[in-house]
Structure 1
Amino acid sequence: MITFVSRPNIVLEQADVVPFAEEDWIGRRIQMGEVVVEVFKKCKRCSMVNIDPENYSVDPSPLKTFAASRQACFGVYASVVETGVVRVGDVARLLG
């Protein structure tokens, strides 16, 4: 039997654009719709960021840039604390 695990992602739009603000959320909880997640670490990027999803061309410069300036990190990991429904357009709020 083969089991496929998807990698769920949520992209948040910030009101005031602060580069890499998500790194300050580590150790904090975020509520989105009915769901509460806890941010626990930076996300190390793999080589998939080098592939253009529209035409599958490969350009190694994104990962090289992340490696040189961000220790190859971009984004954060979070685990679900309270389950529920999240809808497009729901407001995300930092808790405590």
Structure 2
Amino acid sequence: DAVEPLRARVAVLRAAETWREEPALGSEGAAERMVRQFQGQTFQTDAQVTERVAAWRRPDQGGAQAMRVPGTHFSMLHEPHVVAVAMRLCRAMDEAEEEA
């Protein structure tokens, strides 16, 4: 089954702190443990992610953009990292609007 290419700009936010073999100091919840183990089995570089996302897009729609944001998969959505995530999202939306 062929996947219909996206007709929109694609920006992927990637947590700067990715896979680690051992849990971080302190308590690790069940969900965090599952994500850490999943990341360990499926770790991808920024280039691999960009390549995969670009495959979803139509050739005339430009490339995909992978941006690193501070924190882990979970902590990037909480203080203090969420501010940087919001700023990167705003920048991506501004750039998309300028292209339209």
TM-score of the aligned structures, taking structure 2 as reference length: 0.24
Question: Which has the larger strand fraction?
Answer: 1
TM-score of the aligned structures, taking structure 1 as reference length: 0.25
